[in-house]
Amino acid sequence: MSRLEIRPIRKLDAEFAVPGDKSISHRGIMLGGLASGTTRLRGFLPGEDCLSTLHAMQALGCRIDRVAPDEVLIEGRAGKLLPPAEPIDCGNSGTTIRLLSGIVAGFPFTTRLFGDASLTRRPMKRIAEPLRQFGAELICEGAGDRPPLTLRGNNLRAIHFTSQVSSAQVKSCVLLAALQAAGKTVFTEPSLSRDHTERLLPAFGASLRNENKSIILHGPQRLEGTELDVPGDFSSAAFWMVLAAGLPGSKLTLRHVGLNPTRTALISALLRMGAGIMEKVEQPTPEPLGTITIVGGNGLKATQVAGKEIPNLIDEIPILAVAAALAEGTTEIRDAAELRHKESDRLAVITKNLRLFGVPVEEKPDGLLIEGGCPLVGAEVDSHGDHRIAMSAAILGLLAKGKTVVRDTACIETSYPGFAKQIAALQELGR
């Protein structure tokens, strides 16, 4: 089984870029496959999750060429996908299965979508309900509305749907189905989740609008191929941001990174904690991107994170918990029960791993109380098959005293190919 062995580093003085944004790469492939004409994605993330989406769209008849490791050319099918010859493997990727469901719901053939053990545990009722309202036939084969999913597409009718969770995957599934549904679809969510789909649809020629905190899309609509420059993934940058914030005397510059405000609430949380961070937007549309500079070692203090901020740092909570472990006082994370439905039960796994590093943590049904400032001691921990847990544990290892071993790290490939190499390079520089 793959593992990472980590020794602490004393300083960090570096400038680099992280690989492409996972959410934008998924959407670029899917929208490009539906569009007419060619779409070029530069800075595509060649992680396993996005490759699941790439293979899925190929299985639905799209020609997709990888002209470079991080560049793809997609020949769109002008809204006419083909029936897949076999069930489609979505791997570990919730984004693939939920967004693809919204796409195939509009096609008059049967698609079966399945995934690995972790994906098979993830709830699908949240997308099954709206897709059935649109008129699609959908069976969740797993107990409690879990995958595999079998969908039979139909002529869809537009819906008005209010989601109980702030989830960009649910929102995107609904918007993708709405593109193919006759009439006016209105989508509402409790608070704003990441808005990549709303930003990218107009780049592919679609029109939609916001009205009274809802999104309105009139279907059916056709998409036109385009060229997209995918920014670096803020969620990947987050690991290095917390590392730099926690190391006295460090300076880190991250270039060409996504700065979409629905993704960057970690910056606000770290600023409240006293970290030295500057962001500079260099390109505003369709996706804001720019440079982040972090100057470390100001001494962090505890904060509270709850409510509307949660969806905008949902993937960063494992690494925010590392910052909390370094901060003086007790950091409180609330309203984050969604974390129990990610690649692992992240509230349970963060609690378990932080305790192994010597951090006192109280697990709540919807959050965590993390008492920071205790000495961190290197530990042997498990990723529980969850990429963000594995990478957060590796960062703890760079900050803790003694040796750390992170077991089962192959999952890192889902979102951050090259992470282990980056760790090795920083260890070399920071001895």
Residues found near ligand S3P in the complex (CB under 6 A): 23, 26, 95, 167-169, 172, 193-194, 314-315, 338
Least gap, CB of 25 to ligand S3P (angstroms): 9
Nearer to ligand S3P, 174 or 426 (CB): 174
Q: What is the 3-state secondary structure (H, E, C) of 200-254?
A: HHHHCCCCCEEECCEEEEEECCCCECCEEECCECHHHHHHHHHHHHHCCCCEEEE
Q: Which is nearer to ligand S3P, 145 or 315 (CB)?
A: 315
Distance CA 26, CA 20 (A): 11
Q: Which two tokens stand for residue 245?
A: 């914030």
Query: Shortest Cβ distance from residue 298 to ligand S3P (Å)?
Result: 29
In whole angstroms, how close is the CB of 315 to ligand S3P at the nearest point?
5
Strand order of the sheet with strand 289-295?
A: 13-16, 251-258, 289-295, 276-283
Could you tell me the end-to-end alpha-carbon distance of the chain, in angstroms, rounded to an integer? 27
Phi, psi of 301, rounded to the nearest 5 degrees: -125, 160
Which pair of tokens denotes residue 390?
């594995």
Shortest Å distance, C-beta 127 to ligand S3P? 10
Structure tokens at 73: 């050319």
Shortest separation between residue 379's beta carbon and ligand S3P, angstroms? 26
The secondary structure of residue 138, as a DSSP letter, is: E
Q: Pick between residue 155 and residue 164 the one whose CB is nearest to ligand S3P.
A: 164
Rounded CA separation 344/382 (Å):
12
Nearer to ligand S3P, 142 or 297 (CB): 142
Long-range contacts of the stretch 357-361 (C-beta < 8 A, 24+):
357/325, 357/381, 357/396, 357/400, 357/404, 359/325, 361/321
Pick between residue 194 and residue 256 the one whose CB is nearest to ligand S3P: 194
344, amino acid identity:
S
Q: How far apart are CA 275 and CA 294, in angstroms?
A: 8
Name the residue nearer to ligand S3P (CB basis): 194 or 384.
194
- The first and second tokens of residue 256, run together, are 């060409």
CB nearer ligand S3P, residue 95 or residue 331: 95
Closest residue to ligand S3P, based on beta-carbon distance = 23
Instruction: Tell me whether strands 183-188 and 160-162 are parallel, antiparallel or unpaired.
Output: parallel
- Residue 88 one-letter amino acid: I
* Closest approach of ligand S3P to the CB of residue 23, in Å: 3
Active-site residue list: 315
Give yes or no for a contact between 17 and 64, defined as CB atoms under 8 angstroms apart: no
Task: Please report how close the Cβ of residue 168 comes to ligand S3P at its closest, in angstroms.
Answer: 4
Closer residue to ligand S3P (CB): 92 or 111: 92
Q: Where are the alpha helices (DSSP H) in 105-209?
A: 117-120, 125-134, 168-178, 196-203
Q: Are 389 and 350 in contact (CB under 8 A)?
A: yes
To the nearest whole angstrom, how small is the minimum distance from the Cβ of residue 313 to ligand S3P? 10
Residue 273 parent element (H or E): none
